[in-house]
Each structure stands twice: as structure tokens, then as C-alpha cells.
Amino acid sequence: MKLYSTNNKENIVDLKTAVLNGLAEDEGLFMPTKIPKMKKEFFENIEKLSFQEIAFEAAKQLLSEDISAKKLKQIIDEAINFDAPLVKLEEHIYCLELFHGPTLAFKDFGARFMSRLISYFNKEETLILVATSGDTGSAVAHGFYNIPGIKVVLLYPSAKVSQIQEQQLTTMGGNIQALEIKGNFDDCQTLVKQAITDPDLNKILNLSSANSINIARLIPQSFYYFYAYAQIKKINKKPLAICVPSGNFGNLTAGLIAKKMGLPIKKFIAATNANDPFPIFLQTGHFKPKDSVKTLSNAMDVGNPSNFVRILELYKFNLENIRKEIESKSYNDEKTLETMREVYQNSDYILDPHGAIGYMGIKDFVKNHNKYCGIFLETADPSKFTDIVNKAIGVNPPMPKRLKKCLDKEKKSIILSNQFNDLKTFLFRI
């Protein structure tokens, strides 16, 4: 696979360079020069394939120039060894559960695949920097835990992640270091980008990122869109719309890549919380980043989504073409709680606050477009947001044993300001 920088289409690199660097030297994001189409026969028989078989076929199409089929299969079998089941909630509305991995969030797909890809390419000690608003950090920490030659530094915004998320971030130990940043997620993300492109740091450190700015995160996330289609194909023949709860827009971008590969998703809905620059962009044609605001769906609290530029690239900056395939709407905390309560009462199903926003997005869409069936992504186990769930429905969600274990561990983190020089000083000493 050849990839170009979104800041300079002449800056073309191979997959290894893109994965290990994370970000281009010119601070652009890497994008494939060409997105290959899957064969027609693949989609005709997709419902007969397992999740791992589907992932392998999609990965081969993208990565066969860079990785042998044998090694690629090994990576997929190790990384994607848990399910992503489709659950029917009501007529023509389904939930794709993406929280059955080790850290109970969809980020497990990308983090586990990426850790093995970096390990495959890596020939020297590497420092992975990660900005997280909650689930990315714990997924990366678990995915990279004690992998030889790799250290991980997690940057998370102080007092802006759930207690359980913070425990998952700060209790791993080993080669994982958590930094509690005095600021918001956008500050953390800016610090990571600054560090990766800083010439002084790069003289002495081999730096990369495991955020969705790294293309290696997005490739495996495309796999579960194919798997969702394989499952829905057996039970519902209507045209398919998928709603993605969106923050940094990596998850949506992965779905769009799957669509470019031929996956017959007719419509995407990007549902956001109060951090709404993307819905405003679709309405006005102007993208204006905002300072992020704190909401109940904290993993989506992003006011300047990095992957917005990738969406523009996929559609060659054509606003009308974007509008034809993507709709977007924002929902506030009050509606989030109300929806969690209603779904629990009507379907006996517990949503987390991010899934609730996804449900609202697909519910509104299907109500206005009854020729479609709809899938929304449920991105995290509701037990990671016990306080919010209890506030909405009056009961605590069941907590998996592996989540209970981390609550008894001691939090270990270092508090830093949101100033780059402070991070730079810390990294020089690591």
C-alpha cells in the first residue's frame, strides 16, 4: 500500500513508514493513494464467512503488497478473537455491539491489530504517544502491554474521563505510562501531534502514535462494517444505513473506506453530542473548530476532529457528494439520558451514553426514510459508565469481572500542564 500526506500529495510513503511514523513530517495524515474494490463474489457470499475470514479478505485487498498472507492471517487471528454481534432492538433498527474485546470498547479492534502491525515492522525501540478521551487509552494500553521494544505514554484530560476509564488507563504499569493533562482532549491531541513532528525529540526518540491519526487504527475498524453487512444480509433486505457516534471521526472514516471498497452501505449518519462542528459544516459548508465542551458521552468530546480532513480527501473536497452520503445531527445530554431510559423501558436493553447518541441518530433517520433498515454502533459496555446509566435508568449495569479487577488497583499517573515544553521535558527524561 502506498500512502500520501494530506498536506502534500507528492509526499508518498509505504505502509511501514506510515504505521511507524503515525503522522507525516509535514503534519499531514496519511491516506491510501488507491482504495481497492472487493470482488463482487465476496459480497455475494459474505454471510457464509466468519468475522475473521471477512477481516482477512478485506485486509489482503489492502495490505497484500506489504505483508504475507500467512503473517496477515496470524495478526488477524490474534487481534480479532472476539465477536461483534448484531442485536435487533426494534423493527428495522439493529445494534452492532463492539464492546466484547478485552477493554470493553470498540477501540480494541484498532489497538490490538495496530500493536501487532507495529511489532511486525518495528526494528528499534519505539515510543507510542496516545491522546485519549477515555477508551482509546485503555485499549492501546492493553494492546501494547509488555510488547518488547515498545513504550506507551497515554495523555488524558484531567477530570474528563469516567472513573472506570481512568482506572483502566492508569493501572496497567509495565511499559505503560499515564499522563494526566490539565486541559481537554483537544489539548492532549495537539500535544501528541507537536511531539511527533518535533525535530529535537525525533533526534533521540523513535516516536509514533496509536490515535486514529495513524492509518493502522482505521484499517481494522473497517472490518466490522463488512461483518455488520454479513449479519444484516441474512435477516433484512432493505437498503442499509449506519449511524456512527462520532468524536474524532476515525470510526466514520473507517466505514467510509469500507464503502469505497464496495461495501453497499447507502447512507452514513454521523451523530455527535454538543461538540458539533461537523453537523454545522454539512449545513453551512464551513468547518469551524470549537473548544470542546464536556458531555456525558465524553469519548466524543472533540471540538477539532483530526479525521475531518480524511473525509474531505475521500470525497475530493466535494461538499455535495459528502452531503449525498453522510448526514449529521447533534444531541444534548438531556436527550441522551431520556433515550437511555426509553430504550431500557421499551426493549430491556442498556445503552451507554455514546450508543444512545448512535441510536437517536439512526432512529431519526429511519423514521424519515422508511425504505431503509438501520444499524447503530454501540461502542462501549455500559458498565464503563455506571453513574450515568444509573442516573438514566435507576439500576447499575452488570459489570464484567475483568473490569472489576482494575477498580481495586492503585492509580498511577503524572500530572502535567497542557504546555508542550512540559511534555517535551518529560519525554526527554523517559
Which pLDDT score is estimated for 147? 83
Instruction: Kindly report, residue by residue over 390-416, the tens digit of the pLDDT.
Output: 999 999 999 888 888 888 888 999 999
pTM over 0.85: yes
Inside any domain, residue 286: yes
Neighbour order of strands in the sheet with 30-32: 8-14, 2-5, 30-32
Range of the domain at 286: 84-102+218-393
What's the DSSP call for residue 380? B
Instruction: Give the least confident one: 149-153, 306-310, 377-381.
Output: 149-153
* Statement: residue 257 has pLDDT above 80: yes
Closest residue by Cα to residue 114 from 128, 135, 96: 128
Rounded to 5°, the CA angle 221-225-230 comes to 140
**166 burial via Cβ count (<10 Å: 0-12, 13-18, 19+):** buried
* Element housing 342 (H / E): helix 333-347
Domain containing residue 355: CATH number: 3.40.50.1100
Q: Does residue 366 lie within any of the structural domains?
A: yes
What angle, 0 to 180 degrees and rounded to 10, lies between the N-to-C axes of helices 250-260 and 215-232? 60
The per-residue pLDDT for range 343-368, each reduced to its tens digit, is 999 999 999 999 999 999 999 999 99
Query: Percent of the chain beyond pLDDT 90?
Result: 78
Closest to 192 in 3D by CA, of 10, 6, 416, 412 = 416
In the beta sheet, which residues pair with residue 196?
A: none
The neighbour count for residue 376, using CB atoms within 10 Å, is 30
Residue bearing cell 496516545: 130
Domain contains 130: no
Active-site entry in 107, 160, 193, 329: 107
Does 323 map to a domain? yes
Q: What residues contact 381, with CB distance under 8 A and at least 6 apart?
A: 99, 104, 105, 352, 397, 400, 403
In a domain, 291, yes or no: yes
Closest of 195, 156, 157, 153 to residue 177, by C-alpha? 153
Structural domain contains residue 322: yes
Helix intervals (H) in 47-180: 51-63, 69-79, 107-121, 135-144, 163-170
Looking at the chain, the whole-number percentage of residues with pLDDT higher than 70 is 100
Residue 171, domain member (yes or no): no
Distance CA 292, CA 295 (A): 9
**CA neighbours within 13 Å on the CB side: how many for 79?**
35
Q: How many angstroms separate the CA atoms of 332 and 409, rounded? A: 34
At residue 123 the predicted structure's pLDDT band, cuts being 50, 70 and 90, is: confident
Residues whose CB is less than 8 angstroms from the CB of residue 166 and which lie 6 or more positions away in sequence, other chains included: 156, 411
Total domains, the chain: 1
Reported as a single tens digit per residue, the pLDDT across 285-328 is 999 999 989 999 988 999 999 999 999 999 999 999 999 999 99
Residue 41 lies in a domain: no
Cell of 38: 472487493
Q: Is the dihedral of CA 143, 146, 150, 156 positive or negative?
A: positive
pLDDT (0 to 100) of residue 161: 86
Catalytic (active site) residue 70? no
Q: What value does the mean pLDDT take over residues 187-205? A: 92
